[in-house]
Structure 1
């Protein structure tokens, strides 16, 4: 099965979640996916955690679903397995998520990375949706998030051929925020997450929600949603503290209220 562990970096507001199933190259079995959703759900409710880093370690992110498990599943069994519910739970997380990707992020592993808010990669990272080579299609956002991030034609070039994309091409396509050497991957992702966590927590969640609405709403509706988030923040104590700190030339002390 493998394990999913969480390490909360005290004082930084960051939690590092690590997938460790080396015997299956971090394949996302139903059991492992459930454990991942449980761990991230718990961190999402932790008031001390303001950003989450998700990694498979310095050599591998996740090489897709557990194909041996999928081979034995009928459509009814798949629907009853809870996998879709796990993906929905991961998609409902409000805490900003930074994916730290080294090595292979294929199939479900690629979809997991694309579900994050920012992707930091090692120079060894390889992305892809090889499902068509197995007579399958991506089922956890691969077709939709690739198209939204890179455009329909670039998405078709990956999804329909099953080809892989290295870290540098992924950056050119707009998927990757930063590329670092593999040995610095988690450290670099934590630094990015800490820079998010240092900001007003209410504002970060509101801004994150507004950015995500850009994928779902027409422009006029998305702009109205953004305006509503601004009005909510104008009613917060944090916005007063942030402005006072700027005027007084000091670091802000946000309380999340």
Structure 2
């Protein structure tokens, strides 16, 4: 057993080594937030991200994690920028959906271990370490993860924070925290269990083993699998398809689906019914039904 564990650790180190070794000291979260706040008013060029508009109508926001030397390892400055970029795209009325991706080699090969290595319990507890990494889950517009390459640890957790996951054929998912003496801390034990069931989540979390895109598809972790060079375009097409509908009603539907992960069946059905009733207070519900009866395309105004 010890030999197997050592082999897994070596495998994990070979993936994460660029994110572990040769790094300078990481700025504090407070300083990163302060920097982000100063940059907000000037529409900053991000240091660790590429942000652009894509699609025929330029209505899909594309956020690309851009730390290639570290295999897009997640750390506070990057996550501050992700939250900031997400918020900017959410507030942009021309954007209908957001795609989050990395490189063909790595979506994100885990959290930055060097940042965490010397932390103590009191510091983690007092600062609620990793809490602000959940910003993606607070976005009202649909967020699609386009996962190529490694999505390990925090990378897998970040993908699961998104609403839909599309995978490249060579993608690999895993929660290898157990190999380095800790457990997932950004949703790995919770979202993974809800996505693929207790037994499979236990297997991934307790062994630290990676699964392929094909396994992830069969287990229900991802929606579909695509050739790596076509993945981002497929995610953008999906965003465009969603963008044909009312942004307001799409957000209401997203909220209802997310509530299914938190409420009992009876509570969830009640919430769904009230959200359904709520659509009858919107102009888009009236327009959608009228257009259907009149056999024409609807002209949604997101109101």
Q: Does residue 1:225 correspond to 2:271, yes or no? A: yes
Of 150, 153, 166, the match for 1:104: 150
Instruction: Measure how far apart 1:82 and its partner are.
Output: 6.9
Q: Does residue 1:4 correspond to 2:56, yes or no? A: no
Structure-1 residue corresponding to 2:101: 55
Q: Deviations over 1:102-154 (max 9, x none)?
A: 00000000000111111111101100000000001000000001110111111
Instruction: Measure how far apart 1:12 and its partner are.
Output: 4.5
CA distance, structure 1, for counterparts of residue 123 and residue 101 of structure 2: 29
1:25–1:60 contact (8 Å) kept in structure 2? yes
Q: Does residue 1:75 correspond to 2:121, yes or no? A: yes
Q: Does residue 1:15 correspond to 2:15, yes or no? A: no
2:134–2:161 contact (8 Å) kept in structure 1? no
DSSP 3-state at the match of 1:143: coil
- Displaced runs of 4 or more, over 4 A: 79-83
Instruction: Measure how far apart 1:93 and its partner are.
Output: 1.2
Structure-1 residue corresponding to 2:39: none
Structure-1 residue corresponding to 2:44: none
CA distance, structure 2, for counterparts of residue 189 and residue 254 of structure 1: 23
CA distance, structure 2, for counterparts of residue 253 and residue 18 of structure 1: 32
CA distance, structure 1, for counterparts of residue 122 and residue 78 of structure 2: 20
1:118–1:176 contact (8 Å) kept in structure 2? yes
2:63–2:100 contact (8 Å) kept in structure 1? yes
CA distance, structure 2, for counterparts of residue 235 and residue 129 of structure 1: 43
Within a 5 Å distance, the mapping from 1:28-39 to structure 2 comes to 28-39=74-85
Instruction: Measure how far apart 1:79 and its partner are.
Output: 4.5
Within a 5 Å distance, the mapping from 1:170-189 to structure 2 comes to 170-189=216-235
Instruction: Measure how far apart 1:237 and its partner are.
Output: 0.5
Instruction: Measure how far apart 1:31 and its partner are.
Output: 1.0
Q: TM-score, normalised by structure 1?
A: 0.95
2:71–2:105 contact (8 Å) kept in structure 1? no
CA distance, structure 2, for counterparts of residue 41 and residue 111 of structure 1: 19
2:68–2:103 contact (8 Å) kept in structure 1? no
Structure-2 residue corresponding to 1:245: 291
Deviates more, 1:53-62 or 1:72-81: 72-81
CA distance, structure 1, for counterparts of residue 126 and residue 302 of structure 2: 39
Structure-2 residue corresponding to 1:137: 183
Q: Deviations over 1:157-200 (max 9, x none)?
A: 11111110100100111111111100001100001111111111
Instruction: Measure how far apart 1:245 and its partner are.
Output: 2.1
2:193–2:201 contact (8 Å) kept in structure 1? yes
Structure-1 residue corresponding to 2:131: 85
